[in-house]
Amino acid sequence: MKIKWLSGAGPRRWPPHSLGGLVLVSFTLVVLPLLLVVLGAAYAVNRIAGQSEEIVNEGVQLTQGSLLLMEELVTMERSARQYLVVGDPGLLQVFRSSHQQFDHTVHGLMSLSMGERLGTQIAQLSAGERELANRFLQSTQAKPAAPNRIDGFDRLSREAHQLWIDSSRVVGHRVDALRTRAGWLQQVLVWGALLLVPLTFALAYGLSRLILRPVRQIDHAIHHLGDGRFDQPVAVSGPRDLEYLGERLDWTRRRLQELETGKQRFLRDMSHDLKTPLTTLLEGVSLLDEQVLGMLNAEQASLMRILAASGRQLQERIEQLLQYSRLQGQFASLNLKLLDFAQLIEQSLKALMPAIAGRGLQVDKHMTRAALWGDEAKLRQVVDNLLSNAIKYAPRGSTLHIVVSLAEGWVAMRLVDEGPGISGEDRAHLFEPFYRGRPPQEGIVRGSGLGLAIVQEYVQAHRGRVRLDVPREGEGAVFVVELPPDLREENAE
């Protein structure tokens, strides 16, 4: 048996050694793209969520810090002006506390990732506030303090207010950028899902074919064995366990081929060994019957006739056995061509018309045009055998009914005669080789018992079915043959 694998050194890793391993690998390959997309989406969503939280936190701190700077500047200006009026040292302490709080808030804002522009604004505001605070504190040492040392608070307040506006704008821009990124991610996920669905189906389809290929090869090999085609080696490529099954099937094929060859040889040898002494016996009986060796009395002559009849019957049985043996070797060989089954039946009826007319039979035909692929000679033999059987058992002057139809994907023929029908005992053995039921009426010679056996073999070789149907009132034997329209599809499988 030929097993096809990629050549190469080292242990084989693909396909896996077992069908279970192949299924597991296939499942992993199908699930892997889905898993990667899900993990990628989870990572992207988690990252956006983190960025969103960071923007919200920094936005709150930036906005609150800007407002706090404005409040501290107002407090510093108010305490400074009150100090200049009343000279209360407690007001000077309030100024210093606000100055320290302002400086602390500036350091907090500078630690945020707010962009270069806001950083410059905060640095300038901090420098201006520090210069103004130092100038004011130095002026408090002089007697009296100089009022013009606090004139810069209005400018600082405007800068702080502008910082608050710019901070809000920066936060808004960052939120818009995050929203844009989220929209882009959504589009990526949607397109990824749309592309992933056909990719997953394509992977699943390809891997399923990879899994089913050795199964189909095994099924094809079993069909060949069932059809008796033992000359075609079994070739299975796939996991090692299915390969091994293919090897066992090929071993079975070889054994069946040997058995078939041995059977044919045995039948030939046996028939030869039987025919030689039988021929001698018949010749001797013929000489005695012709009274060449002397006169025979009535009892001896009767015995000679019985011996001669039995010898001829035995010779006929041997010939029938050889004929069936030869036919069995032809059952699996089909010469397929496109046929019109109804036309094939018409040809058979035309050939059998002398026998039909001789018994005064009528033929009632209801035949639909039915095209099918089959072996013309074998299907003609099927129709001839069934019609001959019906003609033989139909009463004189009766009618044969033939219906050809297309039903449920089959080409069907229903052949009915008006004879006595077939008994239950005969029905059970009717398609067995050499089985002959009750003799036909009016002394017609009984058949060999091979006609219906050949019908069944040829119909089964066409992947069809033949059966005896239950007769209706007024019907005798009812034979139904069902054939697939396109046997090529059956063989392709």
Place 7 in a pLDDT band, splitting at 50, 70 and 90.
Answer: very low
Place 28 in a pLDDT band, splitting at 50, 70 and 90.
Answer: confident
39: Cβ–Cβ under 8 A, 6 or more apart, which residues? none
pLDDT at 4: 39
The listed range with the strongest mean pLDDT (28-32, 75-79, 114-118, 302-306) is 75-79
Q: Is it the case that residue 424 has pLDDT exceeding 50?
A: yes
pLDDT at 416: 93
pTM: predicted TM-score of the whole model, two decimal places: 0.50
CA distance 171 to 112: 12
Q: Is it the case that residue 270 has pLDDT exceeding 60?
A: yes
- What proportion of the chain, given as a percentage, has pLDDT over 70? 85
Residue pair 171/63 in contact by the 8 Å Cβ criterion? yes
Mean pLDDT, the chain, integer: 78
Higher pLDDT, 445 or 167: 167
User: Residues 348-376: pLDDT tens digits?
Assistant: 999 999 889 988 999 999 998 889 999 99
Compute the radius of gyration of the chain from its Cα atoms.
52
Kindly state the tokens that stand for 97: 């506390």
pLDDT at 3: 37
pLDDT at 10: 43
Q: Is it the case that residue 385 has pLDDT exceeding 80?
A: yes
Place 9 in a pLDDT band, splitting at 50, 70 and 90.
Answer: very low
Q: Is it the case that residue 298 has pLDDT exceeding 70?
A: yes
pLDDT at 350: 92
pLDDT at 386: 92
Residue pair 345/382 in contact by the 8 Å Cβ criterion? no
User: Residues 65-113: pLDDT tens digits?
Assistant: 888 888 888 888 888 888 888 878 888 888 888 888 888 888 887 877 6
Residue pair 363/402 in contact by the 8 Å Cβ criterion? yes
Helix axes 19-86, 153-227, angle to 10 degrees: 170
Task: Give the strand order in the sheet containing 410-416.
Answer: 362-367, 399-407, 410-416, 478-483, 465-468
CA distance 208 to 150: 85
Taking residues 284-288, report their average pLDDT: 73
The backbone torsions φ and ψ at residue 367, rounded to the nearest 5 degrees and listed phi first, read -120, 125
Taking residues 240-248, report their average pLDDT: 81
Partners of 401 in beta bridges: 364, 416
Residue pair 75/100 in contact by the 8 Å Cβ criterion? no
Nearest C-alpha neighbor of 70 from the set 166, 153, 171, 169: 153
pLDDT at 312: 77
Place 446 in a pLDDT band, splitting at 50, 70 and 90.
Answer: low
User: Which of 369-373, 375-379, 424-428 has the weakest average pLDDT?
Assistant: 424-428
- Domains of the chain, CATH where assigned: 21-195 (1.20.1440.210), 240-328 (1.10.287), 336-492 (3.30.565.10)
